[in-house]
Structure formats: C-alpha cells, structure tokens
Amino acid sequence: MTSATAAPELSYLEHKVAMYRSQVALRRFEQRAYDLFLENYVKGTSHLSIGQEAIAAGVAAAMRPTDWTFATYRGHAHTLARGVPMTPVFAELMGRANGLMAGKGGSMHLTSVEHGVMGSYAIIGAHLPIACGAAWSAQYRGTDQVAVCFFGDGSVNIGAFHEALNFAAIWKLPVIFFCENNLWMEYTRTADVTAVANPAADRASAYGLESIIVDGNDADAVFEVTSLAIARARAGEGPSMIEAKTYRHGGHSRADPGKYRPDEELAEWLLKDPIPLYRSRLVEMGVSEDDLLVLEADVDAEVETATNEAKAGEVPGEELLFQDVWADGSGSWRS
C-alpha cells in the first residue's frame, strides 16, 4: 500500500478555524462570481453553491491530497476546497488564457489533476461511472486512494446512478457517493418526482449499503461522516453513499431567480445558513471576534487580488483551438 506524506496535524481548534475559513472563502468567491456575471465579465451561465459551502469544506478536509474529487457543474466550491487558487478559477469563468484550463472549459468543466480535481461534469450523473473507474484503478494498483463523487438529487432517477452503485458494491470499490440534496431538481421539487423520501439514502439498502443522512449545513457533521466513510474505503470495505440535506440560496443558475420556491421555505433555510452558524460555534468555543474579523478581511483581500489578476489575463488566441483535442496536441497534421 502507498500513501502521501501526511500534512502537519492541526490542533482541534486550528482545524475548526480552518474549516470556517474555507467556508467563508467559498462564499465570498461565489458572491464575487455573481457580481462579475452582472458586470459582463463572465459569459454564459454558471451554477453557484451559495448555501452549500459546508459540504465542500467538510468533505475536502477529510480527504488526502492523493484522493480524487468528481464534481457536478455546480463545482466551483469543490474545486477551491481541494486547494486550487482563486485566480485561475476566476480567470476560467471569464474565459481568459490564465484560467485553470486556459479559458476553454468555463464554469462547468473545472479540472485540476494536480489537486485531485478530476473534473466537473455538465451531463447529469455522467461522472458516477467514471468515479468508479478511478476507484477501480486505485484498487488494481494497490494504492489507498479514494474517489469522492458528488451529485445532486436530480441524478438519482437516472440509469448511471444505479449502474455505478451496483458496480461499486459488487467490486467493493473505494468510492464515496455523496448526494447534495438541495430539494430541487432544477425547477422541480425532488419529492414530487421521486418515490422515496430520501432520494439517495433510501436506495442504499438495494445495493447492500448503509443509509447515511447528514446535515449538509454543518461542516463538522459532514467532516465526521465523510472521514468514517473514507476510512472504510481505505480499509477495503467498499463504497458508501451519503446524502446531505442542504439548500441553495439562489436559483438553479444565475439566469434563474428561483421564484418557484415558496417564500417561507427559503426563509426557513436562510436561518440554517452554515456560515453564521459555524461562526457562532467558534465564538462559543472561545475564538475571539477580532480574530474572526481578521480572518474574514484576509479572505476579502484574497478575493480582490484574485479578481484583479484574473481580469488582467489575455483572451485565448486561435492557437489554443486544437490544443488538448488530439494526443499529439494539435490537428494541423490532419489538414
């Protein structure tokens, strides 16, 4: 078995503060991304995860650098939580040459193999079997790597979901299936088109898996349940499926005002905002208000610097059109 060199262990309180900083950074990034869209810096659309930061922060904290993340098109937070700097992600959203993928991927295809981020996938559920393939690779090679595959509640009623779970179960693959259940399949309430109350967890038993449900707005709870699932996977005990209950504060995408959701439902979930709740927890644990203000100001400065660096990037030239399309790097030989 092989494993990466472990990072220096954080103290209990340092771990909590780091978890808070991650959530604040993810929130501030998404808020700025929305502003850049309104300023016409970001073309097309993108899908923000404001309100769901506790999931990305909690899961990433439980992973090793050598583990793999597979995300949906709502993947900005998962990409950043694995350690990808803000500047190339902002630049990618703007379609700039200094972007994470030189401006060719955009919001819905963020990828950084260096950080274990194995792609964001725009096709619903398409990445679940791919995550199984990565996990199978780790199993075959005898490493202790684990694949964590995020998907929304909108993925649970398609074939790839069931095929991936069945394959992972019979091969006991080191993969964690993580459902971010924000209650709405784009514009349709999940409960209206799904036969079970918990769309992912209630199907776990069909594949011999435990039904695991966690508060997706509590980063500590997410970290703990994910740590246990990853430990099981590393020990050769196979896959787990986790369903996190959460809520997106905005619409499905930035072009969607989300008016179809009842006002009282939105108001109820805004009271469960993971960031102020976690901040209050830190204060109760003895972290000073001044220290938290310094942390938040530091994040704001990071966002400002990254925004300016991304804006300074050049628009990609035509020479990039065929790059990364063919194995030899171009298509010129085909002409």
User: Domain spans of the chain?
Assistant: 12-303
Report residue 120's pLDDT band, with 50, 70 and 90 as the boundaries: very high
- Report how far apart the first and last C-alpha atoms of the chain are (Å, whole number): 47
Report residue 286's pLDDT band, with 50, 70 and 90 as the boundaries: very high
Residue range 31-52: average pLDDT? 93
Kindly give, in sequence order, each residue whose CB lies less than 8 Å from that of residue 322, ignoring residues fewer than 6 positions away: 329, 330, 331, 332
Average predicted confidence (pLDDT) for the chain? 94
Q: Which of 284, 312, 282, 215 is nearest to 16 (CA)?
A: 282
Alpha carbon separation from 204 to 146, 166, 277 (Å, rounded): 19, 10, 30
On the question of pLDDT at 329 being above 90, the answer is: no
Other CB atoms closer than 10 Å to residue 282's CB: what's the count? Answer: 19
Q: In sequence order, what are the beta bridge partners of 244?
A: 180, 214
What is the value of pTM for the model shown? 0.94
Length of the chain: 335
Residue range 180-190: average pLDDT? 94
Q: What is the pLDDT of residues 74-112, one digit of tens each?
A: 999 999 999 999 999 999 999 999 999 999 999 999 999
What are the start-end ranges of the H helices in the chain?
12-38, 53-62, 76-81, 86-93, 127-141, 159-171, 219-234, 263-270, 274-284, 289-311
* Confidence at residue 254, expressed as pLDDT on a 0 to 100 scale: 79
Other CB atoms closer than 10 Å to residue 97's CB: what's the count? Answer: 14
Report residue 318's pLDDT band, with 50, 70 and 90 as the boundaries: confident
Give the percent of the chain with pLDDT over 90.
88
Residue range 9-35: average pLDDT? 95
Name the residue with tokens 């963020």.
110
Pairing of strands 147-152, 175-181: parallel
Burial of 145 (0-12, 13-18, 19+ CB in 10 A): buried
Q: What is the pLDDT of residues 48-79, one digit of tens each?
A: 999 999 999 999 999 999 999 999 999 999 99
* Confidence at residue 332, expressed as pLDDT on a 0 to 100 scale: 61
* Confidence at residue 139, expressed as pLDDT on a 0 to 100 scale: 98
CATH code for the structural domain at 12-303 = 3.40.50.970
* Confidence at residue 321, expressed as pLDDT on a 0 to 100 scale: 79
On the question of pLDDT at 333 being above 60, the answer is: no
On the question of pLDDT at 8 being above 90, the answer is: no
Q: What are phi and psi of 210, to 5 degrees?
A: -75, 145
* Confidence at residue 128, expressed as pLDDT on a 0 to 100 scale: 98
Residue type, 206: A
The tokens for 323 are 């790059």
* Confidence at residue 4, expressed as pLDDT on a 0 to 100 scale: 45
The tokens for 237 are 């005990």
Name the residue with tokens 């340092």.
14
- Helices and strands in the chain: count of H runs, count of E runs: 10, 8
On the question of pLDDT at 324 being above 50, the answer is: yes
Cα–Cα distance measured from residue 318 to residue 323, given in angstroms and rounded to the nearest whole number: 10
Residue range 277-282: average pLDDT? 98
Report residue 304's pLDDT band, with 50, 70 and 90 as the boundaries: very high
Q: What is the pLDDT of residues 196-240, one digit of tens each?
A: 999 999 999 999 999 999 999 999 999 999 999 999 999 999 999
* Confidence at residue 3, expressed as pLDDT on a 0 to 100 scale: 41
